[in-house]
Amino acid sequence: MLKNYLKTAFRNLIKYKGYSFINISGLALGVACCLLIMHYVKDEMTFDRFHVNGEHIYRVRTMPSFDEKQVMEFVKMPVGPTLKEELPLVINQCRYVNTAFDIRSGDNIQNQGKAFYAEPEFLEMFSFLNKYGDGISVLNGTSQIALVEKAAKRIFGKSMAVGESIDLNIRGEWKTFTVGAVLKDLPSNSSLDFEFLIPFQNYLMAYNRQSNDAKDWYISEITFQTFVQILPNTNIADLTKQIDELARRKMVDSPQYAGRYNLQPIYNLHFEKSMASGKQAGMQETGDRFYSFLLSGIALLILLLACFNFTNLSLARALPRAKEIGVRKVIGAKKHQLVAQFLGEAFIISTTSFLLGLLLAELVLPYFELAAEKEFSKSIIENPIYISIAFIAVTFAAFIAGSYPALIISRLNTVTALEGRFDGSNRKGGLQGILIVLQFSIAAVLIVGVLAMNRQINFLVNMDRGYDDTNLISIKTGDLSKASLLDSTKSRGQALANLMRRELQKTPSILNVSGNASNYSHLAFEEVNPETGEKTELIGYSTSVDFDYFETMGIEVLEGRDFDRISTLEGLNQIIVNERFASVMHLRDSVNGGLNSTYRGKTIIGIVNDFNLFSATQEIVPTVFELDKRRGLQRLLVKFEPSTLSSSLMAIEAAWLKFNPNNPFDFRLMEESNASQFAKEKRWRSIILTASCIAISISCLGLFGLAFISTQRRNKEIGIRKVFGAPVPTIVYILARGFSLLVVLSMIIAGPLAYWLGYEWLTTFPYRIEMTWDLFLIAGLIQLTITILTVSYHAVKAAVANPIEALKYE
């Protein structure tokens, strides 16, 4: 009997090749898409979970005395060693300090942005494994370094680089190191992101510092990422209080400036917004739990959609087989045997689809990595949990697809079944209709999401930033201790800016040269609503700029004046503020519109229009600009004439090589840099767009199959209509009408959910679009057009056929 069932199953698959292809490919596509997305989500949600001691490792964060609502991921130099020495609950600590070395191997010199000073405890606490050598021994010394395998291959052409020599430029001096250890490449889900580790003792020697100097508590230098390992079952709130008390004791002369501290679990590093994010901090860019949850939902929806599609097609294909069931019942087939037959066929198709989907996901994975800009440490096959979930879902769909039609048909009267008078048409508005509506509701939500994301990203890219970023070049000054700058009366950055300005004045295409600091001091403000009296606490910034900064950036001085070279000494005690600052401080309600009033002992001489210092995804905050003194300019800005990029770059690079040859000419066009700020949003848009296309494709495959089966059922009806003179458009309309109504219903159901999801996503942006009605209209028209085109293929084919072929057996 089993052999007979298998024969029948394979014969049906071969006989109805089109149906088999649609059913298998649709389910396989859904499985592959689900597995790929869940592979991405798993990588995101398991960041830093591979560390053996991860549950007990925390990053120490500072809440400065001037603003205890602002959390900074860096602390003062002696914090880590002091905590380990004086607090029994802290059993280990390590400091991790970024730097930017020039690396020389033979005659090849390259700038390396992923080189960091680290203490030996770093490799004791974190589970970064040795490939060759012993990393902990390396960090205990001073003459060796550790590097990861891919860096060894890039520089030395081999992974076994232990014993090789390499030169590092530390503060302008070349020092030779030996490679003492090669570490395995970091897992893709590691927040810590480095390629070279240099013993921390070298930092102390280069800067003439002591590891735990009590005087360093009074230095306002918050530049060290510090991690601690604590005892199990430690009460974090109590430990934090102990750290705050210890800091006040260490700063006994001025405890009010000790600030407060915060412990961040390393499992939260990836999902909490951070100042210590990116290559320069030795950390991967932070993620977003919202997107991970959203992707998880999309993956499950696509899998459900594929299962609905599979169930619907199986049901549609099974109901016309009533005559076959009648014959089996006549020769003695029992109800459970009929159910077993349909279940067997469904399981064969579902298992084949699942295996093809798994194979497709593995084949597509490298391309998916490129699209997602993520390199996975493991393959999909190494994630058995998600494979099991997908297999269970597919198996359940097979169970429904096989048992439901079998139960319906097996209850038929044998004579009715043998006469072929039952084709399931009286049930077309039932389960099949519900499944079609669910399929297109899912697709509609995804389409609206893509349209909303696309419109929001375009809005951010094209919004007025408050300054002119066209024909503007930004250059990182680099480590200016390597530069030969004779003017000691200014900061090194300002001295370089002056030299570059004088040199580039000889080039007609160069309009302006200025600079600014890339680091900002935080300021605390309190905004009062004049109508309600409600107070809102705000964080502002103070930063240093050079002369001509506002003119170079195309920022308008609304009131007052710019910094003046004639009164340089006075300028050091003068500041310029933005409109947001003027609004919060109510300057325009005061005498002279706030000009010549003082803030923190400095005179306000001008108010400039609001502009976005960072990204358009962040709100404009009160900002104070002062002339650079000793803080240092880390970025030069050069404005040039339109259509002169090539010649201007040649002149700028020549000047750079003349005055700052030991630092790389690291420049970016501001217009391109601003556009790249939305790379994360664009990446998510691409992922969701791809998922939407797959969802629509699966829906269309199912619709294509259903339209074919529906047309076949109504062959005689179409023939009769043609005999009575019905034109082709009328027949197409009749056949497409039912499916079109289901699509319209799906849009009505999907609308509220799509609106809610879109609204929640948009609230994460300070500047955003609205969820307007046209987004839903466009999505509906897209779905309706696809539906009509899909159904019309079979409808037209049936409408133009010879009616005699359909009626000749009547």
Tens digit of each residue's pLDDT (9 = 90 or more) over 756-793: 988 988 888 888 899 999 999 998 898 888 888 877 77
Calpha distance 51→60 (Å, rounded): 18
CA 535 to chain centre: 34
Tokens 């994630």 sit on residue: 383
Residue in the block written with tokens 């048992």:
403
Q: Which two tokens stand for residue 529?
A: 């609503």
Which helix (DSSP H) or strand (DSSP E) does residue 26 occupy? helix 17-45
Q: Please write the tens of the pLDDT for every residue from 468-492.
A: 888 999 988 877 766 666 655 556 7
pLDDT at 368 over 70: yes
pLDDT for 510: 92
pLDDT score at 652: 92
Please, what is the average pLDDT of the chain? Answer: 80
pLDDT of residue 637: 93
Mean per-residue pLDDT for 644-662? 88
pLDDT > 90? residue 137: yes
pLDDT for the residue numbered 72:
76
Q: Which residues contact 285 (CB under 8 A, 6 or more apart)?
A: 277, 278, 680
pLDDT given for residue 406 in this prediction:
66
Q: Work out the percent of the chain whose per-residue pLDDT is above 90.
A: 18
Q: What is the pTM of this model?
A: 0.75
Q: Is pLDDT at 276 greater than 70 in this prediction?
A: no
Which of the residue ranges 90-94, 102-106, 292-296 has the most confident prediction, judged by mean pLDDT? 90-94
Under the banding of pLDDT at 50, 70 and 90, the label for residue 330 is: confident
Instruction: Please give the pLDDT value at position 238.
Output: 93
Short-list 689, 709, 735, 684, CA closest to 443: 689
pLDDT at 70: 65
Residue pair 237/263 in contact (Cβ under 8 Å)? The answer is no
Q: Please report, rounded to a whole number, the percentage of residues in the chain having pLDDT higher than 70.
A: 83
Lowest mean pLDDT among 85-94, 232-241, 264-273: 264-273
What is the structure's pLDDT at 427?
46
Q: Using CA atoms, how far apart are residues 481 and 485, in angstroms rounded to an integer?
A: 9
Q: What is the DSSP letter of 483?
A: S
SS3 370: helix
Asked if residues 64 and 76 have their Cβ atoms less than 8 Å apart, the reply is: no
pLDDT for 179 equals: 92
Asked whether the predicted pLDDT for residue 504 surpasses 50, the reply is yes
Sign of the CA dihedral with 783 first, then 432, 301, and 756 last: positive
pLDDT tens for 538-571 read 677 888 888 899 999 999 998 888 888 776 555 5
pLDDT value of residue 592: 59
Note the pLDDT of residue 755: 93
DSSP 254-295: -GGGS-EEEEEEGGGTTTS--SS-BGGGTBPPP--HHHHHHH
pLDDT at residue 426 in the model:
46
Each residue of 255-273: pLDDT tens digit? 777 778 889 999 988 888 7
* For residues 99-107, average pLDDT: 70
How far is the C-alpha of 33 from the C-alpha of 360, rounded, in Å?
9
pLDDT digits (tens, 9 = 90+) for 716-730: 787 788 777 788 788
Measured CA to CA in angstroms, residue 486 lies from 345, 399, 480, 515, 656 at distances of 85, 82, 12, 19, 16
Q: What is the pLDDT of residue 568?
A: 55
Closest-CA residue to 600 (of 628, 578, 577): 577
Is the pLDDT at 425 greater than 50? The verdict is: no
Task: Identify the residue with better confidence: 754 or 275.
Answer: 754
**Position with higher pLDDT, 504 vs 19:** 504
Tell me how far apart the alpha carbons of residues 368 and 373 are, in angstroms, rounded to a whole number.
Answer: 8
Residue 125 — pLDDT band, cuts 50, 70, 90?
very high
Q: What is the DSSP string of 76-109?
A: -TTHHHHHHHH-TTEEEEEEEEEEEEEEEETTEE
Asked whether residue 221 carries a pLDDT value surpassing 80, the answer given is: no
Residue listed under structure tokens 């003027």: 582
CA distance 695 to 689: 10
Distance separating alpha carbons of residues 501 and 481, to the nearest angstrom: 20
